Structures are given as structure tokens and as C-alpha cells.
Amino acid sequence: MAIIAAFALVRLGYDRWRGSPSLGGRPPLSEGLYEVVRVVDGDTLKVRAPDASERDLRSERGVRLRLLGIDCPESVKPNHPVEPWGPEAAEFTTKFIADRPVRLQFDGRRVDQYGRYLAYVFVDERMLNEELVREGLARVSTYPGDSQTMARRLRAAEDEARQNLRGIWSGRSRDLEHDR
């Protein structure tokens, strides 16, 4: 038993070190088109798993997916206040998707430490990650090993948002605007 426990701990540590946490027995997602079953917040979605059961099809169960390379203000994080521009980011994501299928594109890191898939999300030819940054509803947040091409694309969108004082770069808190 001690050997099995030691092996399990070593494997868990290796997966975390390697940056590929276990998928918890779930089959891996492949790149392609998926139905969004729920927008959790600006940078987190649930997509229908390819092996969804009939019961899953009638519910909001799905595979959690985090938008890669960006970080939106919080709007639903437990024990954390709603941050300015968080609700707007979630609303933007909902409207951007508008019940259309999304195309997932993966990078070097496919899963984060919380077991969420990490992907660039496209509707038609437009990338949601990039559009959130361009609107000033997210900051660029890349890691070593992420695609430099995508990082440059996201940084260019962030520069545009900053120059045009959009969203989080406007210097205005949405809470103050709602109080007027």
C-alpha cells in the first residue's frame, strides 16, 4: 500500500510540475467545434463533452474551459467581491457566442492546475480571447511556453484598448458609473 501511495504522490507531483494536471478520468478534448452550455464568467465557459450522456444534454453539465492568455475581472468567484468590469466581460462573452458553436484551439498548456481546459476560442474567424482584450474587458496573461504568435496578437489588442481608454483602461470604475 505504501508503494502505491508513494507512486500516486509522485505522479501527482509530476503532473503538476509538467503543467498537465490529471483530467480526472475524462477523455481529452480535441480541437474542433463545440456547443457552449453555459458562460460561467468572462473567461470561463462550459462546453458540451463529446461523450455527453442524454441526461447531460438536458442539463448545464459540461467540460470547464478557461480562455487561454487572458484574465477577466472576477464576477462569480466564491468569497471574492465582484470586480469592476467583471459583469460586462461575462455579458460580452455571452453575446459574442450567442448560441453559436465555438471552435477550440489548444496551445502547449492544455489544462490548468484546477483541471480546466485552456484554449483559444473562436466564433467563425473571430477569437473571443482577443476581442475581450480589445474591448478592455481582460488583461493579457501569458505563460512561458504559450504561443508567441498568439501572445503578440493579444498584446496588440491590449495596446489598442489602452490607447483608446476602453474598459479597465478607462480609469473609471463601472460601479461609479452605475451610481450616477
Q: What is the set of active-site residues?
A: 66, 74, 116
CA distance 7 to 12: 9
- What are the residues whose beta carbons fall under 8 Å from the beta carbon of 89, sequence distance 6 or more? 41, 42, 43, 72, 73, 75, 132, 137, 138
Cα radius of gyration rounded to whole Å, the chain: 18
Neighbour-count burial of 14, counting CB atoms closer than 10 A to its CB (0-12 exposed, 13-18 middle, 19+ buried) = exposed
Whether the Cβ atoms of residue 161 and residue 136 lie closer than 8 Å to each other: yes
